[in-house]
Amino acid sequence: MKRIDIYVSKNFIKSFLISLIAFINIFILSQLFKIIRYIGEGKMTPGEAVYYIIYLIPKILIEVTPLAILLGSLMAINKMASNLEIISLKTSGISFKRIVMFPIIIAFFISLAVFQINDKVYPKTLKLSRDIRRGTSEKIAVSKTKENAFLRADNNIVYFLGKIDRITGEANRVQIIKMNKDFNEVEKIVVAKKAKYNMEKSEWEFFDVVINDVLNKNEKELKTYSSFEYNEKPEKFITIEVDPDLLTNKELKNVIREIKTTGGDVRGYLVTLGQRYSFPFASFIVVFLGLALGSRYVRGASAISIALSVGLGYGYYIVQASFEALGNNGILNPFVSGWIPNIIFFIMGMYFMNRAEY
């Protein structure tokens, strides 16, 4: 089987690369009219246009690889089927699953490569392409103030601030709740009209304060009050707003964690993270469909199989976009919405693979 495996693998890789290059060229051509307009309007020089196209390639590569895998696998196996090689191998007692084992393994490693490109390369090249299009480097903006700031600290202290200024370190309408270790009972409540963060002592100073000690059931009013346990810096209350597509997976997880502590909406970030882990493996999922659809040779059916595979490929994108919308709207868990299209098409792939055995 070693020679057969090498032969099948070579055919698959060749067909995949031809399909991939074709799809990349189609997407680049679709961008050329826009780039020519940018050059004509003076928004981009010809040299910048070349770099702009180069920086677009990782995004295009990620998006078209499932289509290239689907079409490439179908073309490779269909060619073998048309030469009666598939039926000959089956007749000699080799199962179809064994024949296509190496293309499936190759598709899995391609998925891993796409995953790494999506994580490490795509965020950087996306930023660079946007910088060229804008004519300036995009900077992450941090708000100076925030209304109704919320923060849950690591020491089971919850802060509610009516308004906070991260530059001056001043806040008003302050409410601080100290919870117990299990976070199911209130131990202390501190309410203050104003507060200021002491940079030297690294702690908050409160003014016109009411302290309600729930554990000891007493309450006291103070003009000023400070304690080392209230030491969260002002900038921790203000979330950095950044496009999740510009972040690596590690950075995205950190931002989600920070936004959660301030009570912000992380749904969009979670959907992006879910897609980062699910979409790259679409290439591995659709290879089963491509291999199965190309397994039988019927005169005149090749064009139908190719049309069907392309239709299924675009069908995956439609299903994926639909479930992504459900995740963004909060109807489905972001990670679940990302993997449902993969599960649906994997079941379809297994169905056609079983039919290809006969």
Q: When comparing pLDDT for 163 and 137, which is higher?
A: 163
pLDDT value of position 358:
61
pLDDT value of position 57:
94
189-209: average pLDDT: 92
Q: When comparing pLDDT for 340 and 312, which is higher?
A: 340
78-107: average pLDDT: 87
Its pTM stands at: 0.77
As a whole number of angstroms, the distance between CA 302 and CA 307 comes to: 9
Task: Say if residues 96 and 358 touch (Cβ distance below 8 Å).
Answer: no
pLDDT value of position 96:
87
Three-state SS at 158: strand
Can you state the percent helix, strand and coil of the chain, rounding each to 5?
60, 15, 20
pLDDT at residue 1 tops 90: no
Which tens digits make up the pLDDT trace of 43-74?
Answer: 888 888 999 999 999 999 999 999 999 989 98
- Confidence band, pLDDT 50/70/90 cuts, at residue 300: very low
Instruction: Report the run of H or E that residue 173 belongs to, with start and end.
Output: strand 170-179
How far, in whole angstroms, is CA 5 from its chain's centroid? 34
Question: Which two structure tokens, joined as six digits, stand for 44?
Answer: 């981009």
- Confidence band, pLDDT 50/70/90 cuts, at residue 138: low
pLDDT value of position 161:
92
Where in 113-179 does DSSP place strands (E)?
A: 145-152, 157-165, 170-179
pLDDT at residue 116 tops 80: yes
Could you tell me the sign of the dihedral formed by the alpha carbons of 272, 278, 279, 280, in that order?
A: positive
As a whole number of angstroms, the distance between CA 98 and CA 95 comes to: 5
Please report, as a single letter, which amino acid is at residue 243. D
Task: List beta partners, residue 338.
Answer: none
243-255: average pLDDT: 89
| Nearest partner of 13 among 97, 83, 81, 102, judged by Cα | 102
State what percent of residues in the chain have pLDDT above 70. Answer: 93
pLDDT value of position 233:
87
Which tens digits make up the pLDDT trace of 256-280?
Answer: 887 777 667 788 889 999 999 999 9
163-171: average pLDDT: 90
